[in-house]
Structure 1
Amino acid sequence: MPGKILITGGSGLIGSRLSEMLIDQGYEVAHLSRSPDKFSHYKSFRWDVKEPYLDENAITYADYIIHLAGAGLADEKWTNARKKEILRSRVDSTQLLLDSLRKCDHHVKGFISASGVGIYGDAGDQLMSEESTYGEDFLAEVCKAWEASVWQIKDLGIRTVIMRTGIVLSDKGGALPQMARPVKLMAGAPLGSGRQYMSWIHIDDLCRLYIRAIEDTHFEGVYNAVAPHPVTNKEFTKELAESMHRPLVLPKVPSFALNLMLGEMSEVVLTGQRVSANKVMHTGFTYEYNYLEEALESFYKQD
């Protein structure tokens, strides 16, 4: 079964782990990169979204494309320029792939793209499924535009899957180390009201889900890539402190303080989505980490 997988955003948090797991399962993996490195662990082809340029050998190489590229949400403050970059990096990169697929004689059998549960906006306690209504805030608008650009690839007759990803838990980067730092210093506290829901997924489960979407041709359309048991921010912080054997000392970090520190980016931590994993579970996919406690233990059991 294994074939050739082309990954955008391959050097990022998810892309790195996914590449390792694909290689372990006998796949060949190549990355698209702005500056391909001869000494890279992976075969790499040049692309530059701003130019726009894409080495067409990348497209003729691939059996499947996994599209993870996009400017990081938590890397910098959301200035107007940064917000444009967050949007453009996702939409323009998809457009570049689409144009190349149109032009080249290729044998791509599937296109699997990331998106985010941010598409649902601040949904409070409501359990959101793939059919739920979309939000109106900045992240929701980004996800809508991103998904609209991905859907054009389906029109080329290529099986297309969109993974609306929750908070990806990894000790190598992303949200978890940032949340763990104050807990380690015994200054951990829930953020804002603490009642906002966090829909999370362990990085290994997410990567296994991507691999499953390659291998199982029944996968088509949109899936919530989240674990089955979302928790509130308060529960998350409590579980994290327990798994790190640290007390929770502080009361809640007030919303206004987060707004001062993060500006509009505080949306990411203050708005919540309680997202259903039912559609993924109905495919027969089994999670290795169903509950937050198990996921956190996999990272902090040595502490």
Structure 2
Amino acid sequence: MGKTIAIAGGTGFIGSYVAKFLLKDGYRVLISSRNPARVSERLKEFDVFKWDPETENFPVEVVQRADVLINLIGETISQRWTEKVKEKLRSSRINSTRKIVEAFSKVDSSGKTFISASAIGIYGSKRDEILTEKSSFGDDFLSKLCIDWENEAKRASEFGVRTVILRIGIVLGENGGFLARLTPIFKLGLGGKIGDGKMWMSWVHIEDLARVIKFAIENETVSGVYNVVSPNPVTNEEFTKTFAKVLNRPAFLPVPKFALKVLFGSELTEVALTSSQKVKPERLLELGFEFKYSNIETALKSLFLK
């Protein structure tokens, strides 16, 4: 049996995929849930431990059992950003991360590994600028959220924990996330580029995300911040044409920006839905990590043409 991995947020779209991926590779996997009884049947192959990030401290006994703790907790950003929602977005990421780090501080955590999610939203919208881990940050809500989120995670290193922060791009997978909203629209032939379609989209296949996490677990030299995106970002126009081609559907109806603002509000539209981020995974490439899905058409075909 390999190392014991605990995943905070292991029942969601990304977390459940990562949990199953690691289990197949011989790791023992523990996952958190607010209501273990509800998920125990669906995810019966895992040890499920109870943790409500809003009301409970992170269980110290889980830190003691685990060699690696992966933090994937976070309320979805794809909703209208009212002040109440903004507070939930912050607390679901920052407060939960703080509680995990506090649990590290209560036991001997030297030699353990902490892998914590962040997002490429930290860079803000930079149009055609190539963004690496050394690039400057934005100053919008999402950028500031990611900065505070990462600062909480970095504190784990004070307790002898090897700390890895993953700035994750748009995750492409079958049963959730970005594509879950787009696929029904595109299958009806109603898909189209957003505005002029020139904004850059930095994406990663969910299997490559899981492979990056496994790479971080297994390589003791991996620490600090890493962009987790394909080496080949695409424009929104290129993504739209490729997705329509893979689904064998037309995609000629551009989505005007004002329509998104009506649906999602101005701030979410500007900061997330129409932002342009041309991000490169510079540090992963320097370490020799090879992406299985570096081409957008190959990635989409793997998900929809089986």
The Cα of 1:90 is off from its aligned counterpart by 0.6
Amino acid at match of 1:32: S
Provide the rounded CA distance (Å) in 2 between the counterparts of 1:84 and 1:108. Answer: 34
Per the alignment, residue 145 of structure 1 pairs with 148
Output one character per residue of 1:58-78: Cα deviation in whole Å (capped at 9) or x when no partner: 11111000100011111x321
Output one character per residue of 1:41-91: Cα deviation in whole Å (capped at 9) or x when no partner: 2112222222232322211111000100011111x3211101110011111
1:76-225 to 2 correspondences below 5 Å:
76-106=79-109, 109-225=112-228
Residue of 46, 59, 84 corresponding to 1:55: 59
Provide the rounded CA distance (Å) in 2 between the counterparts of 1:279 and 1:105. Answer: 30
Look up the SS of the partner of 2:80 in the other structure. Answer: coil
Per the alignment, residue 261 of structure 1 pairs with 263
The Cα of 1:216 is off from its aligned counterpart by 0.5
Output one character per residue of 1:187-225: Cα deviation in whole Å (capped at 9) or x when no partner: 111012311100000000000000100000111100000
Provide the rounded CA distance (Å) in 2 between the counterparts of 1:204 and 1:232. Answer: 22
Provide the rounded CA distance (Å) in 2 between the counterparts of 1:50 and 1:109. Answer: 25
Residue of 282, 291, 304 corresponding to 1:300: 304
Output one character per residue of 1:3-31: Cα deviation in whole Å (capped at 9) or x when no partner: 00000110111111111111111000001
Residue 107 to residue 31, structure 1, CA distance change in 2 (3 Å): farther
Per the alignment, residue 274 of structure 2 pairs with 270
The Cα of 1:248 is off from its aligned counterpart by 1.6
Look up the SS of the partner of 2:166 in the other structure. Answer: strand
Which range moved further: 49-58 or 156-165?
Answer: 49-58
Per the alignment, residue 21 of structure 2 pairs with 21
Q: Work out whether residues 227 and 280 of structure 2, in 8 Å CA contact, stay in contact via their aligned partners in 1.
A: yes
Provide the rounded CA distance (Å) in 1 between the counterparts of 2:196 and 2:184. Answer: 20
Q: Which runs of 5+ in 2 are unaligned?
A: none
Provide the rounded CA distance (Å) in 2 between the counterparts of 1:2 and 1:272. Answer: 40
Q: Work out whether residues 11 and 32 of structure 2, in 8 Å CA contact, stay in contact via their aligned partners in 1.
A: no
Q: Work out whether residues 60 and 107 of structure 1, in 8 Å CA contact, stay in contact via their aligned partners in 2.
A: no
Matched, 1:12 2:12: yes
The Cα of 1:107 is off from its aligned counterpart by 6.0
TM-score (norm 1): 0.95
Q: Work out whether residues 197 and 273 of structure 1, in 8 Å CA contact, stay in contact via their aligned partners in 2.
A: yes
Alignment: residue pair count: 300
Amino acid at match of 2:36: P
Amino acid at match of 1:261: L
Amino acid at match of 2:159: L
Amino acid at match of 1:52: E
Per the alignment, residue 47 of structure 2 pairs with 43
Q: Work out whether residues 162 and 221 of structure 1, in 8 Å CA contact, stay in contact via their aligned partners in 2.
A: yes
Q: Which runs of 5+ in 1 are unaligned?
A: none
Provide the rounded CA distance (Å) in 1 between the counterparts of 2:300 and 2:251. Answer: 16
Residue of 270, 282, 288 corresponding to 1:284: 288
Amino acid at match of 1:14: I
Runs of 4+ residues over 4 Å off in structure 1 = none
Provide the rounded CA distance (Å) in 1 between the counterparts of 2:164 and 2:244. Answer: 36
Per the alignment, residue 236 of structure 1 pairs with 239
The Cα of 1:242 is off from its aligned counterpart by 0.5
Look up the SS of the partner of 1:150 in the other structure. Answer: helix
Identical positions, percent: 39
Which range moved further: 289-298 or 103-112?
Answer: 103-112
Provide the rounded CA distance (Å) in 2 between the counterparts of 1:80 and 1:255. Answer: 22
TM-score (norm 2): 0.95
Per the alignment, residue 33 of structure 1 pairs with 33
The Cα of 1:106 is off from its aligned counterpart by 4.5
Look up the SS of the partner of 1:5 in the other structure. Answer: strand
